[in-house]
């Protein structure tokens, strides 16, 4: 029986939904349909599928997304809806589609990819590596934290969307990792999130009649998960923390999990409010598709981190089979083709991606080569250990 790569279109798209229903029985069909079609970047070209005698038996979706990276954004491919019909499993079909997804991301100039999985080894064979997400975990206390005054707590209303979108954009301005949401994307989230993550609770914190922050949560068994929040001031942070535990108590949950930047003020305030464990969420994986394209996308941010007038020696940065010349003559940084004469810093994809995302202890992976310490020092300045954040609300 012949297996062939097929184009997904309006006619055979119901077969994709049939397959996803079979492979993900706990997720309703309508969720996949809405998530695909309501995504502002949706195109059937993002769906990769294999067919046997006219029937789709394997599928991978490559969502077109953008990740915030301080003042810049990084286009990336969100790998999702990886499905193989039970009758066709263990024949390498998923592997074929993952390889096809890599070719697709190269053709669409996506320098990075991200996915969420518990099957790390399967994706590691195709170049994805684990990048751990910091989370705080806490039991719900018998006495809930006190809510600071001065705010009206109310349910989300459609008119809140535009001001809350502005709040979100301001809140991610200095962070690495969060989704760079457009207003249409954030509006569409309201259409698909409740279908996948039931009992989503979205509340708004208003001051003087205007939305000043928000919180989205959902219970999963005995645990409350924070999907995302915006709390730009100290008193809003304390209110959001108190409300997280209120949501948990209302849902009958015994503990909460909150994604955080471990070095952030919010993480410190949370730990001061209740006893919390600092843990890591292991399911996030990244893939570096193109080192030159990635560095070009974030060149303004990296230049701002090397804006002092001190000249530094050029060096070459190599990750697997890609090498880029890095020049920092003072007042910024630029990238070009390596000549082969520069001092070489060679990193594994795992080491580079941990460095890119500002992971704690990522600098220890930088081992100086030879007597010249400047390349290592430059990379430490370009990629500070400032942490990163991915919100569960943006899962795909």
Domain end point (choices 128, 149, 178): 128
Is the pTM higher than 0.75? The answer reads yes
User: Does 167 share its domain with 197?
Assistant: yes
Instruction: Give a yes or no: residue 16 inside a domain.
Output: yes
Distance between CA atoms of 79 and 101, rounded to whole angstroms? 8
179 and 140 within one domain: yes
User: What pLDDT does residue 89 have?
Assistant: 96
In a domain, 386, yes or no: no
Q: By C-alpha distance, which of 131, 204, 122, 130 is closest to 162? A: 204
Q: Is 250 helix (H, G, I), strand (E, B) or coil?
A: helix
Q: Is 394 part of any domain?
A: no
d(CA 136, CA 30): 32
Question: Domain check: are 145 and 265 in the same one?
Answer: yes
> What token pair was written down for 10?
């309006």
Range of the domain at 193: 135-281
Q: What is the pLDDT of residue 368?
A: 64
Q: Are residues 73 and 114 in the same domain?
A: yes
**Residues 243 and 311 grouped into a single domain:** no
CA pair distance 335, 326, nearest whole angstrom:
5
Start-to-end CA distance of the chain, whole Å, equals 32
Distance CA 368, CA 374 (A): 9
Q: Do residues 148 and 270 both lie within one domain?
A: yes
pLDDT, residue 372, reads 67
Contacts of 382 (CB under 8 A, 6+ apart): 302, 305, 306, 333
pLDDT value for 373: 80
β-bridge partners, 245: none
Domain annotation covers residue 371 = yes
Beta strands, E only, the chain: 3-7, 47-52, 55-69, 72-84, 112-116, 129-130, 133-139, 152-155, 176-179, 201-207, 210-220, 223-230, 255-259, 277-281, 284-288, 312-319, 322-328, 334-337, 344-347
**Positive or negative torsion for Cα 125, 50, 321, 337:** negative
Please indicate, yes or no, whether residues 139 and 119 belong to a single structural domain of this protein: no
Q: How many domains does the chain have?
A: 3
- Residue 135 has a CB neighbour count (10 Å cut-off) of 21
3-state secondary structure of 60: strand
| pLDDT on residue 333 | 97
Per-residue pLDDT of the chain (396 residues; tens, 9 = 90+): 789 999 999 999 999 999 999 999 999 999 999 999 999 999 999 999 999 999 999 999 999 999 999 999 999 999 999 999 999 999 999 999 999 999 999 999 999 999 999 999 999 999 999 999 999 999 999 999 999 999 999 999 999 999 999 999 999 999 999 999 999 999 999 999 998 877 899 999 999 989 999 999 999 999 999 999 999 999 999 999 999 999 999 999 999 999 999 999 999 999 999 999 999 999 999 999 999 999 999 999 999 999 989 899 999 999 999 999 999 999 999 999 999 999 999 999 999 999 999 999 999 988 766 556 889 999 999 999 999 999 999 999
What pLDDT is attached to residue 196? 81
Q: Is residue 249 part of a domain?
A: yes
């Amino acid at each position: 029986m012949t297996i062939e790569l097929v184009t997904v279109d309006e006619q055979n798209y119901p077969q994709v939904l049939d397959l996803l229903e079979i492979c993900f029985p706990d997720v309703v069909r309508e969720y996949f349909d809405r998530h695909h079609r309501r995504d502002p970047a949706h195109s059937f070209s993002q769906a990769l599928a294999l067919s046997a005698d006219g029937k789709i038996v394997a599928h991978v979706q490559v969502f077109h997304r953008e990740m915030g990276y301080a003042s810049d954004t990084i286009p990336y491919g969100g790998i999702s809806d990886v499905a193989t019909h039970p009758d066709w499993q263990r024949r390498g079909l998923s592997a074929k589609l993952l390889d096809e997804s890599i070719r697709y991301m190269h053709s669409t100039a996506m320098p990075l990819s991200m996915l969420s999985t518990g099957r790390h080894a399967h994706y590691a064979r195709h170049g994805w590596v684990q990048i751990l997400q910091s989370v705080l975990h806490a039991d719900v206390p018998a006495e809930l934290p006190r809510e600071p005054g001065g705010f009206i707590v109310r349910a989300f209303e459609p008119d809140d969307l535009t001001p809350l979108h502005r709040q979100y954009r301001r809140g991610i301005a200095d962070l690495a990792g969060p989704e760079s949401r457009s207003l249409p994307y954030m509006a569409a989230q309201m259409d698909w999130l409740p279908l996948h993550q039931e009992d989503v609770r979205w509340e708004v914190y208003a001051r003087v009649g205007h939305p000043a922050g928000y919180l989205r949560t959902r219970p999963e068994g005995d645990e409350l998960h924070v999907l995302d929040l915006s709390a730009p001031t100290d008193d809003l942070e304390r209110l959001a923390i108190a409300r997280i535990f209120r949501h948990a108590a209302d849902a009958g949950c015994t503990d909460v999990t909150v994604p955080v930047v471990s070095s952030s003020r919010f993480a410190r305030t949370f730990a001061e409010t209740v006893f919390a464990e600092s843990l890591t969420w292991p399911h996030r994986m990244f893939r570096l598709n193109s080192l030159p394209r990635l560095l070009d996308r974030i060149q303004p941010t990296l230049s701002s981190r090397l804006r002092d007038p001190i000249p530094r020696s050029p060096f070459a940065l190599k990750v697997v089979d890609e090498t880029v010349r890095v020049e920092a003559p003072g007042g910024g940084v630029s990238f070009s083709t390596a000549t082969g004469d520069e001092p070489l810093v060679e990193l594994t994809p795992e080491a580079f991606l941990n460095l890119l995302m500002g992971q704690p202890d990522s600098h220890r992976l930088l081992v100086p080569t030879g007597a010249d310490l400047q390349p290592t020092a430059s990379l430490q300045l370009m990629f500070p250990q400032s942490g990163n954040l991915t919100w569960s609300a943006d899962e795909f």
